[in-house]
Chain A
Amino acid sequence: MKKKNCLALVLAAVMALSLAACGSDAGVSASATDKTEVSQSVETKTDETKTETTEAGVLAYTTLNLDDHKDASATIKFIHHKTDRQADGTMDAMIAKFNEEFPNIKVETEAVTDYAEDSLLRLSTGDWGDIMFIPAVDKSDLATYFMPLDTLDNLSQKLNFVDSWQFDGICYGIPYMANAQGVLYNKAVFEKAGITTLPKTPDEFLNDLQLIKDNTDAIPLYTNYAAGWTMGAWDAYIGCVSNGSNTYMNQEFVHDADPFKDSGDGTGIYNLYKILYEATKNGLIEEDYTTTDWEGCKGMLNRGEIGTMVLGSWAYAQMQEADSHPEDVGYMPFPMTVNGTQYVAAGGDYNYCINVNSSDENKLASLIFVKWMTEKSDWCYNEGGYTVVIGGKNPDMYSAFDGCTVLSDQPALAGEETFLNDMNNESELSFNAGGNAKVQRIIEAAATGSESFDDIMNDWTAAWNAAQAELGIEAK
């Protein structure tokens, strides 16, 4: 009996093994046939696309004619950070409109909370979809992940702000909207406080904040300290706004041996952050900054419980929608005047990009989608964005910007594309790249008196110089 059992076990084992072998054999042969089929179909497809693209050359944004591809068919996936627009149906409405023109392109969207981090992790897996917004990658890695969209020369004739994600003259990203960097304010609060002309210098601004404190119940400057990224938003005023130079941010900053020194004339990075320090020290910000609530502050600004907030123009539409006084929400240039001129920095927001590993038909469909979104969706206008398409219409909110010079940061010099990222990481100051803690530190220091403003600036300078030495970047 026992023998029989053993025999049965052995036989069963042998059979199982041979079965497994059969299975794997079958699998191999099946996948082999699959492969041949696939390669055949790829051949036929490439033939088709060849005939298609030979007329237009390589797949490129400017030469792509949307009307030629009404019958394009594919299913593409778009991951983005606009969770609010996903939730309120704006995204679905835009895609429905897109499908009226291109009924066979199915667009799946996914809104990712905490996009800046999650998108990087997904990118490293390679399998993330077809279109995304470019996260903080090194420019030298762009070609590894993304499809070239067009040359910088071609693209910059049609669109603004396309140079932020270019490498060697090839663009890999197109901004979905552009932001101008100014200051949100409540017109009713300003009126009640007795402010008749908008402030043009840090001193005027601080005086106005004091007026708001004295004459109204509103919080003069709401920092949104707890949200974190709202503090990093102050970095956007380095460069064009504080220095009046569109080459400073991406070209000279990394080589500046003393970028955080006091220029003495109320300009520069030092005086930019000094506003925050002084406002905090004089009690011109919210009482308990550690429990600020980003969603709640929108309604507060709308209702006139907040005087000013330092945020990009993208926030304007959200503030207007937040409550019943959209007409009171105003937008003004940043209160800093360099040699008699107020500068406004405008630049692209997140950039669309296309997965380099997508299939050819998905690349085509993705490019169609990106072009349609950029030129025909009105998304940028509806968000209160500065126009991406050259000659496009601008929302009314920018009326206060008349007389200011609008600049956009020039890209880094050839061969130095990765310098700013490297410096940001090495110095851990992370300007315009999630360096929220360093700005929060200014508020903590001012509120508790633990550090003087000059101490902080000296500390930053030391970190900056150490990073320059570590990376071998020449400092002047």
Chain B
Amino acid sequence: MQAEIRVNEKKTFAEWFGSRKVQKALVIFAFMVVPMVLLFVFTYLPFGKMFSFSFFDMKYVGARKFVSFKNYLKVFSRKDCFGALKLSLYYMGGSVVQLSLALYLATILSFKVKGGALFKGFMFFPYLINGIAIGFIFKFFFTRGFVFDSVLNWAGFTLDNLPFWLKDQRINNVSLVGTSVWRYTGQNMVLFIGAIMSVDSELYEAAMLDGANKWQQFRYIILPSIKTIILLNVILSITGSLSAFEPPYVITSGANGTGTYFVVMHEIAHTQQKVGLASAMAIVLLLIIFAATIVQKLLFKYVFKSGDDDDPKAGRRRERAIARYEARKKGGR
């Protein structure tokens, strides 16, 4: 009797608890809580800490002094901080080469090619190697009289006509960018192949029947279909260029005019122990990357009018076109 009453009392709560709305919320919460906690503990919490560090004059150990925006002023007044960003232009140039190469290879390899899988494997392989290991590989690769020079010797160049790949300040950044292109081209290519695979193959057949050549197929079928993934890769490689670190750090340790923004930041944080200033540099770089991403988005949206797939106008245009087509079909009958 008593138990029944208790059940009756709880019933309303139980009913509420068992309702679809609450259960849904509960399931969402249960699934979200683990990744959210991880995200918070390992991303937002350290970021918040770094943000607060940027207002202090501090070392890793020892007392801290609040200096408000002085660190930020220093970031803008120092020559080496923003001077290092100029090097990013090399890496951006490299990323253009890298993306076009990847797109070219992806287009070829997404059609039937003999040994296509093997080529894909070879191209993708560099991405699987650890960045530090790549650094060491290329350190020896570029050493005078070692791998690169030997290969060029076979091709008929004499050693005296070859430059010092890392010593000559006119080309050493190009050499470093080359390693990064070598590493990431395969990865971009695989992403592009994945996107191209999702294009309906009937479109190619239809285009072929209409007499479109391979270039026209690429230009009017493949490119519009994968523009989202291209945009994503462009954004990733631009932000990657701004934060290039591994090649200059491992191969030249940032010396001889190859110190990128990240390498300078690392030097300031760890050798000079100006943790506050380095944190401010990191925040400034973050803002620059935000700005670059937004500018790119806008550029793609307004200049190329093809930034997103979910362009509402495109949807409406498509609907109108379908309606016209249907109307014509009806009329035809």
Contact = CB atoms under 8 A, between A and B. Distances in A.
Q: Is the interface of A mostly helix, strand, loop or mixed?
A: helix
A226 B252 contact: yes
A437 interface: yes
B213 interface: no
B61 to A, nearest CB: 6
Interface string A105-120: 0000000000001001
A7 B14 contact: yes
Given A2-B18, A10-B17, A228 B166 contact: no
Given A290-B252, A291-B139, A444-B257, A6 B17 contact: yes
Contacts of A225: 255
Nearest to A290: B166
Interface string B233-263: 0000000000000000000111111000000
Interface in B1-51: 7, 10-11, 13-15, 17-18
A137 B61 contact: yes
Given A10-B14, A440-B255, A288 B144 contact: yes
B233 to A, nearest CB: 32
A127 to B, nearest CB: 15
Contacts of B164: 287-288, 290
B103 to A, nearest CB: 33
Interface residues of B, number: 36
Contacts of B272: 424-425, 428, 430
Contacts of B14: 3, 6-7, 9-10
Interface in A197-229: 225-226, 228
A424 B273 CA distance: 10
Contact of A288 (B15, B62, B166, B268): B166
B25 to A, nearest CB: 14
B172 A120 contact: no
Given A7-B10, A10-B14, A137-B61, A440 B256 contact: yes
B17 A138 contact: no
A431 B140 CA distance: 30
B144 A228 contact: no
A141 interface: yes
B68 interface: no
Contact of B144 (A5, A121, A291, A424): A291
B274 interface: yes
Contacts, number: 96
A171 interface: no
Contacts of A288: 143-144, 164, 166-167
B15 A117 contact: no
B87 to A, nearest CB: 15
A228 B144 CA distance: 19
B271 interface: yes
Contacts of A430: 271-272
Contacts of A117: 270
B18 A6 contact: yes
Contacts of A289: 167
A428 B143 CA distance: 30
A422 to B, nearest CB: 10
Contact of B253 (A138, A228, A424, A448): A228
A9 B27 CA distance: 14
Nearest to A232: B271
Q: Which of A117, A225, A290 has the most CB of B within 10 A?
A: A290
B132 to A, nearest CB: 12
B16 to A, nearest CB: 9
A120 B270 CA distance: 9
Contacts of B271: 430, 433-437
A447 interface: yes
B297 interface: no
Interface in A97-141: 117, 120-121, 123-124, 136-138, 140-141
Contact of B15 (A6, A136, A226, A437): A6
Contact of A10 (B13, B143, B257, B268): B13
Interface in B58-73: 59-62
B221 to A, nearest CB: 47
A192 B169 CA distance: 35
B142 interface: yes
A424 B13 CA distance: 67
Contact of B142 (A120, A228, A291): A291
Nearest to B270: A117
Interface in A66-98: none
B256 A290 contact: yes
A170 to B, nearest CB: 18
Contacts of B143: 288, 291, 293
A291 B271 CA distance: 22
Q: Which of A7, A437, A448 has the most CB of B within 10 A?
A: A437
**Can you list the 4 inter-chain pairs with the closest CB atoms, starting with the nearest?**
A6-B14, A291-B143, A290-B166, A6-B18
6 contacts: A2-B18, A10-B13, A136-B273, A138-B61, A287-B144, A291-B166
Interface of A: 2-3, 5-7, 9-10, 117, 120-121, 123-124, 136-138, 140-141, 145, 225-226, 228, 287-291, 293, 424-425, 428, 430, 433-437, 440, 444, 447-448
Given A10-B10, A425-B274, 7 more contacts: A3-B14, A9-B17, A10-B17, A117-B270, A137-B62, A435-B271, A444-B256
